[in-house]
Amino acid sequence: MKIISNGDTVTLSGKLGVGSQTSDNIGVVRVRYYLNGNGYNNYVLADTTNPGWGYAFSWDTTKFPNGTYTVKAEAFDAAGNVGTSPNVTAILNNASPTPTPTPTPTPTPQPGADTSKPAVTIVNPLNNAQLGWSTNIQATATDNIKVTWMELHIDGKRVATISQAGTISYQWSPLTSPPNGSKHTITAKAFDAAGNWSETSVSVTR
């Protein structure tokens, strides 16, 4: 099998379709795509059983930091046999996002100034939760005037942002193998227009 590409090294940006060429004497029933590089180790990009368009899936490269990665695919047949594709080097080159505003941890109070910190809550998962294969992380924030920015972090790495009040969410699918009891920290942060900010964290196991 092999991943369909314009060469061994490709430069990518935005959203695009990724597919593969597969063959088997019995029949391929599943194709799984993995991403490596830039801190990702056998991260599952997609796991598809749809043979249409070469077991293709839509990859939003803007969800990943710019840099050089390798992508590979594994094809499974009905008998449990596995075939692995050669690696394709993918260079992600997306436009830089708007930088996160620098919060002021200890703002100097002024007469009549807003010094109230936003209230931020992680709705899902709960503290000390045991996670499965995929988890929809959700957090909310409120402020006495207005929340202007929210962030989600997993083990210190920012994975999602929104520039408004409301609910921030991120679909986390960290597992490439059965749960192994590893510990992780999920943190939500909220900022207001006056530079006040707050954060809260939960510990989870997968």
CA dihedral 202, 40, 189, 193 (to 10 degrees): 180
3-state SS, residue 44 = strand
Q: How far is CA 85 from the centre of its chain?
A: 24
| pLDDT at residue number 193 | 87
Give dist(CA 19, CA 17) in Å, integer.
Answer: 7
pLDDT digits (tens, 9 = 90+) for 87-116: 999 999 999 767 778 777 776 666 678 888
Residue with tokens 């799984």: 32
Tell me if domain 2-92 and domain 119-205 are identical in fold.
yes
- Cis peptide bond prior to 103, omega within 30° of 0: no
Give, in order, the Cα–Cα distances in Å from 66 to each of 37, 42, 54. 11, 18, 26
Per-position b or e across 165-181, b if 16+ CB within 10 A of its CB = beebbbebebbeeeeee
Q: What CATH code would you report for 2-92?
A: 2.60.40.10
DSSP state letter for 79: T
Contacts (Cβ under 8 Å, ≥6 apart) of 162 = 149, 150, 168
Give, in order, the Cα–Cα distances in Å from 22 to each of 28, 34, 71, 122, 187. 7, 16, 16, 42, 41
**φ, ψ dihedrals at 64, nearest 5°:** -125, 150
| pLDDT at residue number 109 | 60
Is residue 201 within 8 A of residue 186, CB to CB? The reply is yes
pTM of the model: 0.45
> What is the CATH T-level fold of the domain 119-205, as seen in this structure?
Immunoglobulin-like (2.60.40)
User: How far is it between the farthest Cα atoms of the chain?
Assistant: 78
| pLDDT at residue number 134 | 86
Give, in order, the Cα–Cα distances in Å from 4 to each of 24, 81, 87. 17, 21, 11
**φ, ψ dihedrals at 33, nearest 5°:** -110, 135
pLDDT digits (tens, 9 = 90+) for 63-95: 999 999 999 999 998 888 998 999 999 999 999
Residue spans of the chain under pLDDT 70: 1-2, 97, 107-111, 174-179
Q: Give the domain ranges of the chain.
A: 2-92, 119-205
| pLDDT at residue number 12 | 94
